[in-house]
Amino acid sequence: MSTATARVATFEPASVDEVSRARLLWDTLRRKPLGAVSAALIAVLVLTAVFADVLAPYDPLAPQPDIRLSAPSRDHPFGTDDIGRDVLSRVIHGSRISLWVGLLAVGIGTAAGMLIGLICGYCEGRVDMILQRVMDAVQAIPGLVLALAIVSVLRPNTTNAMIAIAMVIVPGNSRIVRGAVLSAKQNRYVEAAQAIGCRHPRIIATHILPNVTAPILIIASIWLGNAILIEATLSFLGVGTQPPTPSWGLMLSSTGRAFMEQAPWLAIFPGLAISLAVLAFNLFGDTLRDAWDPKLRRNG
C-alpha cells in the first residue's frame, strides 16, 4: 500500500449532517500553522503556474551564449544554464508543467478509482472480487516501475507520463472508495432507501457519494504531491517531458547533473521547487484529514 493510501486507509466517512467541511477546514488551518503555510505555498504555486508568462523575467527557451553558466545575480537571481537560459524563468514555467500534469493525472486516476471503488463497494459479490484482484495485480507492481513501463510502451512525452501516473493512482483510490462505500452502506438511511425501492443510481448519488467525497479529496491532495514527484522522476530519467520544454525533473537531469560542481545552482533551485511543492501538498493533505476525519476530531 502506498504512503498516500495508507494515510487515509482508516478514514471513517463523515455524516452529511455535520458542520460544513469548509468551516472545519478553516478552523483546522487556524489551529495548525503548518496547514496554513502549506495552503499558502499551494496558492503561490498555482498563481505562479497561471501567470508564468507574466512573472518570468525572460523567455525560458531563449539562449544567451555570452552569459552561459552565470552565477545568481541581480539580473538573473537563479543564474543561467549551459546555453545562457535564465534558470528563474525556467523554474517558473516548470511549475506549469508539474501542476498541469499533476492535476490531470490525479483527476483521471481519482475519477477512475472512484468509479471502480463505487462498483466494488456497492455491488460486492463476484464483481467486487474480480475487480479487486485486478487492482491487487496492478498495485503489486511498484509505482515508479509501472509508470516507467507504461511510458516505455507508449512514447516518452508529457501526455503519456500523465497517463502513466494516473494508472499508478487508480488501485489505491479504488480501495479507499470501496472501504468508504462499504461503511456508508451500513447506515440506516441507506437501508431505508433500499427498502422503499429507491433506484440504485439515486441511492449512490444521494446517500453514498456525499460520504466518500471527503476521503477522496484527502487522497487526491496527497497524490498531487506524489504525482509532481513522479513526473519529475520520469523527466529526470528521460521518459517524461522532453527538451526543450522547461521541467523541474528535466532541469535536474540535463544541466543540473552535468554541471553539478561547476554551477550547483542549476540543481539547487529546481530541486528546491520540487521539494516545496511535494511538501506543501502532503502537509495540506494531512490538514484535510485532521479537519474531516471524525475519528481524529473525537480524539482531539
Q: What's the rounded Cα separation, in Å, for the pair 267 and 39? A: 26
**Is 7 in contact with 215 (CB distance < 8 Å)?**
no
205 in any annotated domain: yes
Confidence of residue 17 (pLDDT cuts 50, 70, 90): very low
Q: Show the cell assigned to 230.
A: 513522479
Sequence-separated (6 or more) residues with CB below 8 Å from residue 217: 288, 292
> Mean pLDDT, to the nearest integer, of 222-227?
90
Query: 222 is in which domain, residue-wise?
Result: 36-48+82-299
Q: What's the rounded Cα separation, in Å, for the pair 297 and 288? A: 12
Q: What's the rounded Cα separation, in Å, for the pair 169 and 184? A: 23
22 in any annotated domain: no
Q: What's the rounded Cα separation, in Å, for the pair 196 and 284? A: 41
Burial 39-70, CB ≥16 within 10 A → b, else e: bebbeebeebbeebeeebebebeeebeebebb
Predicted pLDDT at 193: 77
* Residue type at position 153: V
Predicted pLDDT at 15: 45
Sequence-separated (6 or more) residues with CB below 8 Å from residue 161: 101, 147, 151, 231, 234, 235, 239, 240, 241
131 in any annotated domain: yes
Q: What's the rounded Cα separation, in Å, for the pair 283 and 221? A: 9
14 in any annotated domain: no
Q: pLDDT for 280-297, tens place per residue?
A: 999 998 888 877 765 555
188 in any annotated domain: yes
Predicted pLDDT at 33: 85
**Is 208 in contact with 122 (CB distance < 8 Å)?**
yes
Predicted pLDDT at 196: 81
30 in any annotated domain: no
* Mean pLDDT of all residues belonging to the chain: 85
Q: pLDDT for 71-88, tens place per residue?
A: 999 999 999 999 999 999
What percent of the chain has pLDDT above 90?
45
Asked whether residue 170 carries a pLDDT value surpassing 90, the answer given is yes
236 in any annotated domain: yes
Provide the whole-model pTM. 0.82
Sequence-separated (6 or more) residues with CB below 8 Å from residue 54: none
59, 61, 62, 57: which is closest to 72 by C-alpha? 57
Please count the other Cβ atoms lying within 10 Å of the Cβ belonging to residue 153: 9
Number of domains in the chain: 1
Q: What is the CATH number of the domain that holds 187?
A: 1.10.3720.10
76 in any annotated domain: no
Q: How far is CA 59 from the centre of its chain?
A: 28
Q: pLDDT for 135-156, tens place per residue?
A: 999 989 998 899 999 998 888 8
